[in-house]
Amino acid sequence: MYLCPMFTKPKLAIQDFDYTLPDAQIANAPAGKRSDSKLLVWDTSIIAESNYAHIANFIPPNATLLFNNSKVIAARILFEKKSNSINTILENTENKNSVIEIFCLEPTEKYTPVLLAMQATGKVEWNCLVGGAKKWKEDVLLKEVNINDETIIIKARKLKQEDGKFIIEFSWDKAQFTFSEILTAIGNIPLPPYIQRKANEKDKDRYQTTYAIEEGSVAAPTAGLHFNDEVFESLNQKNIQQKFLTLHVGAGTFMPVKADTIDEHNMHAEFIEVDAALIQYLGENAGLQNSPIIAVGTTSLRTIESVYWMGVKAALYERNHQHSIRSNDLHLGQWEAYELAEHSLTVHEAMQALLNWLNTNNTNKLIAKTQLMVTPGYAFKICDALVTNFHQPKSTLLLIIAAITGDKWKEVYHHALQHEYRFLSYGDGCLFWIKPQVR
């Protein structure tokens, strides 16, 4: 309805976003102290090298940092089933246990938003990946757990399989417990697949930001892992504002781009939650001189940029139909930002449209899904800078860096590799300032 007739999907060759990442430079464990991680600062070129303890030195007073407060859930659940194989009997040994791993990706539609699923009692349904699915012959898998001196029986039942995923119904016999409590008791922290070890007790703390509140992510918003009380205190001393939003990070963040060109890649969708107070704040402060808006993490960047385009959609719909857009129609598709690019509303206008929509719908929180894919050529609307880790080759996250730096991302990554920076989730990071010409 509002598509730009001149829009064509970018046919960028993903091979152009490849580089050699030695295993030795993948951080398999966190730094000794969160703020000890190294920090590289870029503004058209590398201008400084430091660490996160001193990040405030590179941010002007009155800037605003936006943090993703999503909390990683213990999404990996292991069920053991008894095997009565003839070989076991002949060997006169105990029956072997075979393990089936269920990885909770996101709740089904009737249990969304994520908060509804986490607070569910008695039963809940999730879209899941299943490791060892061929061994799952029974109707139901059982697991016993003790919470607050009460023994609880948890059941997992396969309801449906589609596109390599399963819809699993989890149920438990003590309905006073929430799924959040159940998952905490039986689940394991889902470390990224490139960390070649099992999660340990230290990971429960360190693969979680210090400000994580909203349960729902299956991967950490890793740029925030470097911020501790020491860093927040240094930000406060310079009057650098801190605001919070939510994007629940899905497993799709680790999916490599398998298509030859980026237009053929299907970007994963993720839930965002942004309250009215932040929407109003962005409407009043984005674009002000000497008061930059800085996203901590690609998830925060995608959230605030998505919110702008959702505001555009809300404004255009009301203008054309004289009533508010439906909630589901606010969801932002993979290429909609580019298709809507000819409708150049100011940030204030877009945010006001969202505030009007929230008021009409008697809610103070925007909850929607975004598939926004930021590629070179994207014009940033709200974000002035990005704090982020070093990303995997040929990933959609690396495309965001290229959207900010152009081909200079190669110089940055080459420098980091040559100077022994640590890469990926537990690794070091960068502060990238977004050039005016890509805004």
pLDDT tens figures, 85-129: 444 333 433 444 689 999 999 999 999 889 999 999 999 999 999
CA angle 411, 61, 436 (to 5 degrees): 45
Residues forming beta bridges with residue 147, ordered by sequence position: 150
Of the candidates 271, 383, 269, 396, which has an alpha carbon nearest to the alpha carbon of residue 334? 269
| Distance in angstroms (rounded) separating the CA atoms of residues 360 and 368 | 16
Q: So what's the pLDDT on residue 289?
A: 83
Residue 312 is classified by DSSP as H
CATH architecture of 14-72+210-438: 3-Layer(aba) Sandwich (3.40)
Q: So what's the pLDDT on residue 294?
A: 98
CA dihedral 195, 196, 201, 203 (to 10 degrees): 0
Q: Are 189 and 177 spatial neighbours (Cβ–Cβ below 8 Å)?
A: no
Domain boundaries along the sequence of the chain? 14-72+210-438, 76-188
The CA–CA distances, whole Å, from 257 to 93, 262, 281 equal 46, 8, 35
Residue 131, φ and ψ in degrees, nearest 5: -90, 125
Q: So what's the pLDDT on residue 44?
A: 93
Residues of the chain whose pLDDT is less than 70? Answer: 1-6, 82-97
Q: So what's the pLDDT on residue 83?
A: 52
How much is the pTM? 0.92
3-state secondary structure of 428: coil
Q: So what's the pLDDT on residue 243?
A: 98
| Distance in angstroms (rounded) separating the CA atoms of residues 287 and 272 | 22
If you search the block for the tokens 């008021």, which residue do you land on? 359
Q: So what's the pLDDT on residue 1?
A: 45
Q: Are 412 and 430 spatial neighbours (Cβ–Cβ below 8 Å)?
A: yes
Q: So what's the pLDDT on residue 82?
A: 60
